[in-house]
Amino acid sequence: MRLLSRFSFSRPTVSQLVISLLIAGLGWYSGQALSQIDQDLRIMYTEYTLGAADLAHISADVIRYRNTIIRALEAPSEKEFERITESLPAQRARIQHAVDRYAAAGLRVSRSGRSEPEDIEAVRRSLDQYFSVASTTIQLLTQEWNATSPTEREALRRKAEEHASDNGGPKMIQVSLALDRLLETVADVAKDMRDEGTRTIQYSSTLLVGGSFFIAALNLLLGRRRTPPDREEPSEVDGTPVSASHEPLPPRAPLESHAR
């Protein structure tokens, strides 16, 4: 009980409540701004840095798929042809899975009007067209190895080579252009997010500094109003000393004469 009696809690004044609310509001806003910046940084890393790496891998996988088709055209035997083409389904699935994984992320539209949803859809269409052409080439090569006469086999090989050159080449170029455009859009959107984060940091810093100075000045102003200036207290009234409670002191007793 003695310990509790030493601490006396008084009711806060209006000025104390105002200053406390200002400090709490400033801290809450700063926390929200930092949380938003942290979220944007995570998005930029997970969806754009890693996403751009996935898109680069897609381009490399498409080139590898194209080289596999060329190797199948040059296969010297049916066994070698089957060994080369057995990896095509896995390569195609890896490419499509990478595109689907990127499309599942939060796609955005940049301030300049570049749209990630439209560009990723263009990549899908170009890949579907290229895979369709490649499948036709593989079917022609399969028919070639199943043909009985040398004349039919030669005609089918020539047809497969022309199909791969006339149709596969242009479709491959369309895939590369679509991927390049998507990468440019990704860079544009990431730049917008970076600029927005920079503006948020600058605005939050300015608000923190300005709010701190404002709260300090408000505290000084309210503190001066709360403590009025000292008043000069009279020391004597009609030659009689006055106490601090402004009550006249009792007169002194006369000194007795000690001279005898």
Q: Give yes or no for residue 85 having a pLDDT over 90.
A: yes
Count of beta carbons in the 10 Å neighbourhood of residue 25:
11
Q: Give yes or no for residue 158 having a pLDDT over 50.
A: yes
Task: Write the single-letter amino acid at 148.
Answer: T
Per residue in 3-45, pLDDT (tens digit) is 545 555 567 677 777 777 877 787 787 777 777 776 766 666 6
Task: Give the whole-angstrom CA distance, residue 50 versus residue 39.
Answer: 16
Task: Give the whole-angstrom CA distance, residue 204 versus residue 22.
Answer: 15
Domains, the chain, in order of start with CATH, read 13-224 (1.20.120.1730)
How high is the pLDDT of residue 257? 46
Angle at 199 between CA 194 and CA 203, to 5 degrees: 150
How high is the pLDDT of residue 255? 47
How high is the pLDDT of residue 32? 77
Per residue in 170-184, pLDDT (tens digit) is 999 999 999 989 888
Task: Give the whole-angstrom CA distance, residue 218 versus residue 238.
Answer: 45
DSSP secondary structure, 178-232, as one string? HHHHHHHHHHHHHHHHHHHHHHHHHHHHHHHHHHHHHHHHHHHHHHHHHSPPPPP
In the block, tokens 């000393």 appear at 241
Percent of the chain at pLDDT > 90 equals 23
What is this structure's pTM?
Answer: 0.63
